[in-house]
Amino acid sequence: MQKKLLSLLLIVAIYSNLSAQYIFTPEVQIECTDVKSQGSTGTCWSFSTLSFLESELMRMGKGQQDLSEMFVVRNIYKDKAQNYLLRQGSANYGEGSLSHDVMKVLKYQGLMPEAIYSGKLEAAAKHNHAKLVNETKKLLDGFVKKKNPTTNWRIEYEALLDQHLGGVEDTFIHEGKTYTPQSYAASLGVNHEDYVTLTSYTHHPFYDSFILEIPDNYSNGAYWNIPIDELMAIIDTALLNNYTIAWDGDVSEKSFSAQSGIAVLPADPMRANLFDQPGAEIEVTQELRQSTFEDFSTTDDHLMHLIGIAKDQAGNKYYITKNSWGQIGEFNGYLMMSEAFVKLKTVGIMVHRDMIPVDVLERMK
């Protein structure tokens, strides 16, 4: 179990790594599946959100499931391709997307187990979509240039997906039963309507929804907008009640280190020992969040999975975070993101609607 493994890793970091002075004590750790690697792709959104759903399935008593990230990615590529053509090439086309796009696939196309569809050709050591994106975009741009795309583009586009990701069968056998992607998703019992996306910015009214203006929101997904203190309270409430969080945010800060397994916001940006021991961090306000969003110092560049809460020896709070860059760094693919870091650098979250307090729901329009 990943939960037991992470606890052991934290103990090892405390007692055997003499150069590290962080001492983390987990307060809550929620079960999750194994750390995976997205390879050389921008598909963290699929890895993080499916990891989130896998934890949801465990919470629901469905056992450990290993869902196919690339089945979801494949369907979103197709959706992005149609969006790109209908907008005559004036739309974002690439590898990035968001958690609500995973739910869109769940709703309309279903899901597949990883064992049935890996999206990786036999000779491939890791996922790499550079050629796939380049070739599919070239194909789409050709149709845009013709000014008269026909339904044939879908056939050619699908052929490129098959070439790079492998084909998908309409039905498959899993654990002795025959499924379609839709019937497999139905058998898991996950309802896409149970999950809500939240954000916190002041250029739109609080307690209303709006289309978050970030490049990867190609599908114009709406987020509920609430004050940051309430959003942080929802994160804490969820984790303390065995509900995990799909997290979208900025990891471009120099104070974020996947190798060290630490992400902090030091009050002194010149502090040299930020990955060695705790120190003072900046005070995050709603105004600071807004200014960093508008000056692009907070950008939507990575999605991960929050699975717990820990504290260091000084009593500072951290969020235990599962990444999708493989089992690297001090905690083999996990990070400890400080409360200040999460408070400033969160762009959006996905959470089960049951974790939103009644009074907050009542204020939502």
pLDDT at 16: 40
Over the stretch 267-313, which tens digit does the pLDDT of each residue have?
Answer: 998 888 899 999 999 999 999 999 999 999 999 999 999 999 999 99
pLDDT at 18: 42
Kindly give the interhelix angle for 69-86 and 152-165, rounded to the nearest 10 degrees.
Answer: 150
Q: If you average pLDDT over every residue of the chain, what do you get?
A: 93
H helices present in the chain, as ranges:
2-15, 44-59, 69-86, 99-108, 130-146, 152-165, 181-188, 228-240, 286-294, 339-345, 358-363
pLDDT at 148: 75
pTM for the predicted model, two decimal places? 0.94
CATH of 1-30+191-365, one of 3.90.70.10, 3.40.50.970, 3.40.50.300, 3.30.1490.20: 3.90.70.10
pLDDT at 187: 97
Positions of the chain with pLDDT lower than 50, given as ranges: 4, 8, 11-12, 14-19
The CA-atom distances, in angstroms, between 141 and each of 164, 224, 251, 304, 358 are 19, 35, 32, 32, 48
Residue-range domain boundaries for the chain: 1-30+191-365, 67-189
- Pair of tokens at residue 296: 């692009």
The CA-atom distances, in angstroms, between 109 and each of 91, 103, 165, 189, 248 are 23, 10, 17, 15, 23
Over the stretch 131-184, which tens digit does the pLDDT of each residue have?
Answer: 999 999 999 999 999 877 777 899 999 999 999 999 999 999 999 999 999 999
| Spatial CB neighbours of 354, under 8 Å, sequence gap ≥ 6 | 194, 243
pLDDT at 7: 56
Residue type, 340: A
